[in-house]
Amino acid sequence: MIQTENSGYKGKALKSLRRAGCDVGDIVQVLSEDRKYEGILIPRSETGEGDHVVVKLKSGYNIGIRMTPGVTINKIGEGLKPTFATPPIPKQKPDLPKVAIISTGGTIASRVDYRTGAVRPALSASDLYGVVPELADIARVETKILLSLYSENITPKHWGEIAQAVSHQISSGVDGVVVAHGTDTMAYTAAALSFALQNLPIPVVIVGAQCSSDRPSSDAATNLTGGVRIAAKAPFAEVVLAMHETMSDTAIAVHRGTKVRKCHTSRRDTFQSINASLIARVNENEISMLTSDFRKRNAANLPIVKPDFSQDVALIKFHPGFKPTLIDWLVEKGYRGIVLEGTGLGHVSKYCFDAVQNANDRGVVVALASQCIWGRVNMHVYDTGRDLLDRGAIPLDDMLPETGLVKLMWVLGQTKGTEEAKKLLKTNIAGEFSPRTLSDDATM
Least Cβ distance, residue 40 to a second copy (angstroms): 16
8 Å CB contact between 409 and 339: no
Residue 38 makes CB contacts below 8 A (sequence gap 6+) with 27, 28, 29, 30, 55, 57, 58, 76
Stretch that binds a second copy, among 75-83, 89-97, 115-123, 401-409 (CB under 8 A): 401-409
> Can you tell me whether residue 37 is helix, strand or coil?
strand
State yes or no: residue 51 binds a second copy (CB under 8 A).
yes
Residues 56-95 touching a second copy, rule: CB under 8 A, are: 61-64, 66
Please choose, from the candidates 98, 138, 101, the residue with its C-alpha nearest in 3D space to the C-alpha of residue 123.
101
Cα–Cα dist 343/373, whole Å? 10
Q: Is 184 a catalytic residue?
A: yes
158-177 footprint of a second copy as x/- string (CB under 8 A): -x------------------
Query: Strands (DSSP E) along 117-173, which ranges?
Result: 119-121, 140-145
Q: Which is nearer to a second copy, 38 or 51 (CB)?
A: 51
State yes or no: residue 212 binds a second copy (CB under 8 A).
yes
259-298 footprint of a second copy as x/- string (CB under 8 A): ---xxxxxxx-x----------------------------
Q: Across-strand partners of 25? A: none
Q: Which is nearer to a second copy, 135 or 338 (CB)?
A: 338
Please choose, from the candidates 193, 144, 194, the residue with its C-alpha nearest in 3D space to the C-alpha of residue 169.
144
Q: Catalytic residue among 183, 222, 258, 270, which?
A: 183
Q: Which of 150, 221, 308, 426 binds a second copy (CB under 8 A)?
A: 150
Stretch that binds a second copy, among 17-25, 28-36, 72-80, 384-392 (CB under 8 A): 384-392
State yes or no: residue 248 binds a second copy (CB under 8 A).
no
Cα–Cα dist 106/162, whole Å? 15
Q: Is 107 a catalytic residue?
A: yes
Q: Which is nearer to a second copy, 48 or 235 (CB)?
A: 48
Q: Is 440 a catalytic residue?
A: no
Residues in the chain: 444
**Distances, alpha carbon 197 to alpha carbons 45, 164, 190, 240, 302, in Å:** 31, 9, 11, 12, 10
Q: Is 422 a catalytic residue?
A: no
State yes or no: residue 311 binds a second copy (CB under 8 A).
yes
Q: Catalytic residue among 51, 184, 293, 308, which?
A: 184
Q: Which is nearer to a second copy, 298 or 443 (CB)?
A: 443
State yes or no: residue 319 binds a second copy (CB under 8 A).
yes
Cα–Cα dist 79/327, whole Å? 57
Residues designated as active site: 107, 183-184, 262
